[in-house]
Structure 1
Amino acid sequence: MTRDVKEIFAGPVGPGVPPAPAALAAKVRTLAPSMTRSMQRVAEAVAGDPAGCAALTVTGLAELTGTSEATVVRTARLLGYPGYRDLRLALAGLAAQQQSGRAPSVTADIAVDDPIADVVAKLAHDEQQTLADTAAGLDTVQLGAAVAALAAARRVDVYGIGASGLVAQDLVQKLLRIGLIAHAHSDPHLAVTNAVQLRAKDVAIAITHSGSTGDVIEPLRVAFEHGATTVAVTGRPDGPVSQYADHVLTTSTARESELRPAAMSSRTSQLLVVDCLFVGVAQRTYETAAPALAASYEALAHRHRPRGGTKR
Structure 2
Amino acid sequence: MSGPTAANLVASVRAVLPSLTPSVRSIARLILDDPAMVARSTITELSAASGASQATIVRTARALGFSGYSELRLALAAASAQSQSQRAADRLVPGDLAPSDPLADLIAKVTRAESDAIADTAAQLDPERLGKVVDAVTDANRVSMLGVGASGLVAADMAQKLMRIGRAGHPFTDVHLALTAAALAAPGDVWVAVSCTGETADVVEPIRAARDAGATVVAITNNPRSTLAGLAGHVLVSAGRETEFRPGALASRISQLLIVDCVFVGVAQRTFTTADTALRVTKDALDRYAERRLRS
TM range (shorter): over 0.9
Cα distance in 1, alignment partners of residues 32 and 48 from structure 2: 17
From 264, 276, 279, the counterpart of 2:262: 276
From 4, 8, 12, the counterpart of 1:27: 12
Q: Secondary structure at the match of 1:306?
A: helix
Cα distance in 2, alignment partners of residues 40 and 221 from structure 1: 28
Cα distance in 2, alignment partners of residues 58 and 209 from structure 1: 33
Mark the CA change 1:164 to 1:223 in structure 2 (over 3 Å): closer, same or farther: same
- Mean Cα displacement is larger for which, 68-77 or 231-240? 68-77
Mark the CA change 1:27 to 1:172 in structure 2 (over 3 Å): closer, same or farther: same
- Letter of the 2:248 counterpart: A
> Is the 2:217–2:232 Cα contact (8 Å) retained in structure 1?
yes
Counterpart for residue 291 of structure 2 = 305
Mark the CA change 1:143 to 1:49 in structure 2 (over 3 Å): closer, same or farther: same
> Is the 1:159–1:191 Cα contact (8 Å) retained in structure 2?
yes
- Letter of the 1:176 counterpart: M
Aligned CA-pair RMSD: 1.9
Cα distance in 1, alignment partners of residues 293 and 44 from structure 2: 77
Cα distance in 1, alignment partners of residues 45 and 113 from structure 2: 32
Q: How many residues are aligned here?
A: 294
- Structure 2 matches for 1:208-287, cutoff 5 A? 208-254=195-241, 256-287=242-273
Deviation of residue 22 (structure 1)? 2.2
Q: Secondary structure at the match of 2:186?
A: coil
> Is the 1:130–1:269 Cα contact (8 Å) retained in structure 2?
yes
- Mean Cα displacement is larger for which, 279-288 or 23-32? 23-32
Counterpart for residue 295 of structure 1 = 281
**Percent identity of equivalent pairs:** 48
Cα distance in 1, alignment partners of residues 131 and 106 from structure 2: 37
- Mean Cα displacement is larger for which, 58-67 or 203-212? 58-67
1:178 equivalent in alignment to 2:165: yes
Deviation of residue 69 (structure 1)? 2.1
Q: What is the TM-score with the length of structure 2 in the denominator?
A: 0.93
4+ runs deviating over 6 angstroms: none
Cα distance in 1, alignment partners of residues 77 and 113 from structure 2: 24
Q: Which runs of 5+ in 2 are unaligned?
A: none
From 77, 94, 104, the counterpart of 1:107: 94
- Letter of the 1:51 counterpart: A
Deviation of residue 31 (structure 1)? 2.2
In terms of fraction of residues, the more helix-rich structure is 2
Cα distance in 2, alignment partners of residues 240 and 96 from structure 1: 35
> Is the 2:198–2:226 Cα contact (8 Å) retained in structure 1?
yes
Q: What is the TM-score with the length of structure 1 in the denominator?
A: 0.89
Q: Secondary structure at the match of 2:9?
A: helix
- Letter of the 2:75 counterpart: A
Q: Which runs of 5+ in 1 are unaligned?
A: 1-15
> Is the 1:53–1:61 Cα contact (8 Å) retained in structure 2?
yes
1:79 equivalent in alignment to 2:89: no
Cα distance in 2, alignment partners of residues 142 and 77 from structure 1: 22
Cα distance in 2, alignment partners of residues 200 and 220 from structure 1: 14
